[in-house]
């Protein structure tokens, strides 16, 4: 059984890479699933080790921001008990800079129509951009503070603009009268 200390030492990037194909399949099918489903998928006991999935999904979410893809885990992964996941609250930088935008991140993930190419970009980001030793929080820190080359925007600021455009488009589509 993994303890909290052992969980921190797990290679989060590798777990995220293991989970990504099944996660992509579920998202593309529109399925919202629990952490336990993914725990089982990587051969662990959901009743004891579902905690390893949270950091891996958080890492996937950070790479989503770097790739300007909506943060799919916010909408498509839930706790089995339906409780609040505490995303961004445990880290001061994330609490300050990402948590206030939670609704935008969540709604964009809900409204967006993901493509296989989105998950190819996320997989490539996990494989080529994220060093093996980075934690999920380090990925988010980079997304929040790194400037895009030749821009004053951070990766997070750029992603937020895209996410807001997705939400605005979804709202506009709902308001349009049906075609006659």
Q: What is the pLDDT of residues 126-170, one digit of tens each?
A: 999 999 999 999 999 999 999 999 999 999 999 999 999 999 999
pTM over 0.75: yes
**Does 91 reside within a domain?**
yes
HSE, CB side, 13 Å, CA atoms: give it for residue 124.
Answer: 9
Q: 63 near 159, Cβ under 8 Å?
A: no
Q: What phi, psi does 147 have (nearest 5°)?
A: -85, 145
**Does 73 reside within a domain?**
yes
pLDDT at 82: 80
Domain range for 48 is: 4-175
**Does 88 reside within a domain?**
yes
**Does 167 reside within a domain?**
yes
Q: CA 58 → CA 75, 77, 139, distances in Å? A: 12, 11, 9
**Does 180 reside within a domain?**
no
pLDDT at 86: 82
The predicted-structure confidence for 44-102, as pLDDT tens digits, reads as follows 887 777 788 999 999 999 999 999 999 999 999 998 778 887 889 999 999 999 999 99
- The alpha helices in 31-115, defined as continuous H runs, are 35-41, 46-49, 53-66, 72-76, 92-97, 102-111
Nearest to 159 by CA among 170, 172, 146: 146
Query: How many Å apart are CA 145 and CA 7, to the nearest integer?
Result: 26
**Does 38 reside within a domain?**
yes
**Overall domain count for the chain:** 1
pLDDT at 41: 87
Query: How many Å apart are CA 41 and CA 44, to the nearest integer?
Result: 7
The predicted-structure confidence for 96-114, as pLDDT tens digits, reads as follows 999 999 999 999 999 999 9
As to burial, measured by CB atoms within 10 angstroms (0-12 exposed, 13-18 middle, 19+ buried), residue 178 is exposed
**Does 93 reside within a domain?**
yes
**Does 164 reside within a domain?**
yes
């Amino acid at each position: 059984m993994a303890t909290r200390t052992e969980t921190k030492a797990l290679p989060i990037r590798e777990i995220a890479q293991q989970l990504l194909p099944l996660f992509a399949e579920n998202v593309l099918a529109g399925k919202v699933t629990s952490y336990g489903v993914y725990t089982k998928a990587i051969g662990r006991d959901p009743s004891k080790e579902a905690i390893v999935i949270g950091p891996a999904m958080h890492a996937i979410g950070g790479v989503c921001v770097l790739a300007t893809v909506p943060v799919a885990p916010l909408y498509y992964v839930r706790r089995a008990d339906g409780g609040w996941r505490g995303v961004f609250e445990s880290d001061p930088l994330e609490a300050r800079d990402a948590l206030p935008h939670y609704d935008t991140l969540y709604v964009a993930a809900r409204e967006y129509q993901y493509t296989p190419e989105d998950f190819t970009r996320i997989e490539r980001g996990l494989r080529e951009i994220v060093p093996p030793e980075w934690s999920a929080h380090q990925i988010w820190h980079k997304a929040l503070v790194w400037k895009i080359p030749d821009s004053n925007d951070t990766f997070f600021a750029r992603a937020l603009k895209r996410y807001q455009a997705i939400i605005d488009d979804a709202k506009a589509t709902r308001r349009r009268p049906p075609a006659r």
